[in-house]
Amino acid sequence: MYSIRALDNLIARLTRLPGVGERTARRLAFHILKQPDEEAIHLADAIKTVKEKVKRCSICNNFCENDPCSICKDERRDRTTICVVEEPQDVLLFERIREYHGLYHVLGGSISPLKGVNPEDLAIEPLLNRLKNGNIKEVILATDPDTEGEATAIYISRLLHPLKIKVTRLAHGLPAGGDLEFADEITLTHALKGRREI
Amino acid sequence: MWLRNIQISNFRNFSHFELEFSPTLNLFEGGNAQGKTNLLEAIYCLGRGTSFRTSTDQIMIKWNRDTLYLSGEGEIEGNFHKYEFSLSRDSGKIRRVNSHKVSIGNTSYWLWMVVFSARDIRIIQAGPGYRRNFLDELLFFTSPGFSHIRFSFNKVLSQRNALLGLAGEKGGIEDKNIEVWDSQFLELGSKIIYLRLMILRKLESIFCDIYRELTGLNRSCQFIYSCSFFKEKNNNYSIEDIKEIFSSQLKKIRSKELKYRVSLIGPHRDDFKIIVSGIDQRIFGSQGEQKIASIALRLAEVALVREIKKEQPIVLLDDVTSDLDPPRERFLLEALKGKGQIFLTTVDLSRFYPEFLSDSLIFHIENGKVFTHGKR
């Protein structure tokens, strides 16, 4: 059968990426091949550098170039609040809205016995240590609102209960600027339960 | 609701064709193994996004082809919507309503269809799973939000079982790890049981009337929910009652669950009994009695959907009358005729009484090809 081994190898590597199927991988591989040499080398370098330079922050477990990360080091931030998220990309989402000025803690996933992820596999112990040392007043549990995220939030909230720290969970509800008509039944039920006085 | 037309490509033994339907009675006539049931399946699949025959979607794609495509116009509450369904071998299935992607689980755009088939007897005589599915299917449509509850419960259940599966292995599992899943397990599980109790009570009274008319006998009928953790006679629990009992029983059974490494109580272990004149139809009903009970159950489903949704469901009859005696066949057909759209398959048109066939649209199916015979 006709094949170019180096190219096949690249395609096989690319298909391991999330959201990339065989077809997309082939297109990307041929695109890389047709590019000028330096373009492809820059890409390879970028991948290499990101693996070398980006580390986990020893405090919040987020990705960073210098440990501790810029958020953990920033004295202007509210150092009495920690927002607990599943993944580093969740931090980006919160930072983009510029409404939250506290600190973060990245768990690195959610509890899922099906995938073999137990509480010990998440950065929960480091979170507890942070709480014991610091003067944290509030922990915001911002794990995903699915069954695994909910279970993770319940697990952490039970551990934090004896520490007498305020523990909050992100509200579930209606999207802003949306029409009530387009809300699904579950969201609407949550929104009704979490209603507030105005 | 009704389906005005359908366009079929590469579905089972069909290549490509389009059909216009009647809002009343549509008859698919043809010999065995010509594609009558396939046509019903295509109609069901377009309205619901799944098959009523198989859980392996891929086998619906025509042999040697890559993609099947269905489209058609369906009416809900006076408005026509364009339905599309496509399924290919390498990517999954896509459902579109009015050109917008809609998830399969989104029940608000389902064309509700009730399928009567010879397999229905399994609901009466086979294992509890068939009866649970029957109730849950009904709840998907009549109770908004149920599909999400059921879906989340299944996820929690499999996570919980995966965790229990680790019991006995190195170090075992800690109580606090199970408790994390218990709160969602109890919350969702109690809701499912409560909704099932409610729908079962509604279904019971309708079933009783239909069963009496169908048999001509004045028999008492009863549906009893057999829950895995409370006594059968207590069918009037509130959702809080259920949650409380569920919670205390779950604590009691903890050590047993750790031993068997599986979730032993909950809605996934429940069942319901169909009692006629004090006799459990599943165990003591004759083949004929079970057949009648299964037809009465489907008719009750049609009546219940009609009552709750104020809509006529689309009825699919898959060669269901062939083993009924003439009076019962007539009762079934008369109960359905003139109330909403019907699709009926048969090997023999002459078996139907002439008034039934009046105002019907007849299609002849032969070796994967469909010929419209026009109105009677």
Flag if B159 and A151 touch (Cβ within 8 Å): yes
Q: For the residues A32-53, what does the mean pLDDT come to?
A: 93
The pLDDT score that the predictor gives to residue B53 is: 87
B107 pLDDT higher than 80 = no
Work out whether strand B314-318 and strand B342-346 pair parallel, antiparallel, or are unpaired.
parallel
The pLDDT score that the predictor gives to residue B253 is: 92
B84 pLDDT higher than 70 = yes
Is CATH 3.40.50.970 what the domain over B1-112+311-376 is classified as, yes or no? no
Asked if B66 and B11 touch (Cβ cutoff 8 Å), the reply is no
**DSSP letter for each residue of B42-60:** HHHHHHHSS-SS-S-GGGG
A123 pLDDT higher than 80 = yes
Q: Alpha-carbon distance B182 to B156, whole Å? A: 9
Location of structure tokens 């009677």: B376
Q: Which of A147, A184, A185 sits opposite B156 (nearest CB)?
A: A147
Residues in A whose CB is inside 8 Å of some CB of B read: 21, 111-114, 118-119, 146-148, 150-152, 154-155, 158, 184-186, 189
Asked if A113 and A155 touch (Cβ cutoff 8 Å), the reply is no
Report which DSSP code applies to B109. G
Q: What is the pLDDT of residues B273-329, one digit of tens each?
A: 999 998 999 999 888 889 999 999 999 999 998 998 888 999 999 988 877 888 888
- Per-residue pLDDT band for B355 (boundaries 50, 70, 90) equals confident
Q: For the residues A44-59, what does the mean pLDDT come to?
A: 93
Task: Quote the tokens at residue A109.
Answer: 């996933």
Q: For the residues B122-151, what does the mean pLDDT come to?
A: 90
Question: B88: helix, coil or strand?
Answer: strand
- Choice between A175 and A163, residue whose per-residue pLDDT is larger: A163
Residue B197: how many other CB atoms lie within 10 Å: 22
A104 pLDDT higher than 90 = yes
Q: Which of B162, B166, B184 sits opposite A147 (nearest CB)?
A: B184
- Per-residue pLDDT band for B234 (boundaries 50, 70, 90) equals low
User: What class is the A76-198 domain?
Assistant: alpha beta
User: What class is the B126-309 domain?
Assistant: mainly alpha
Name all contacts of A93-99 with Cβ < 8 Å and 24+ positions apart: A94/A142, A95/A71
Q: For the residues B186-203, what does the mean pLDDT come to?
A: 93
Could you tell me how far CA B202 lies from the centroid of its own chain? 17
Q: pLDDT > 70: what percent of chain A?
A: 94
Q: For the residues A119-128, what does the mean pLDDT come to?
A: 93
Count interface pairs A-B at CB distance under 8 A.
47
The pLDDT score that the predictor gives to residue B119 is: 87
Q: Do domains B1-112+311-376 and B126-309 have the same CATH topology?
A: no
A1 pLDDT higher than 80 = no
**DSSP letter for each residue of B202-265:** HHHHHHHHHHHHHH-S---EEEEEE-SSS-TT-TT--HHHHHHHHHHHHHHHHHHHHHHTS--S
Q: What does the CA dihedral B350, B354, B358, B361 come to, rounded to 10 degrees? A: 0
Task: Quote the tokens at residue A78.
Answer: 């509210």
Beta strands in chain B (DSSP E): 2-3, 5-11, 14-20, 25-29, 67-76, 79-88, 93-97, 100-101, 113-117, 221-226, 271-276, 279-280, 314-318, 342-346, 360-366, 369-375
B171 pLDDT higher than 80 = no
Task: Give the lowest-confidence range in A96-105, B59-68, B343-352, B366-375.
Answer: B366-375
The pLDDT score that the predictor gives to residue B170 is: 62
What are the extents of the domains in chain B?
Answer: 1-112+311-376, 126-309
B39 pLDDT higher than 70 = yes
The pLDDT score that the predictor gives to residue A77 is: 94
B9 pLDDT higher than 70 = yes
ipTM value, please give it. 0.75
Flag if B184 and A112 touch (Cβ within 8 Å): no
- Mean of all residue pLDDT scores within chain B: 89
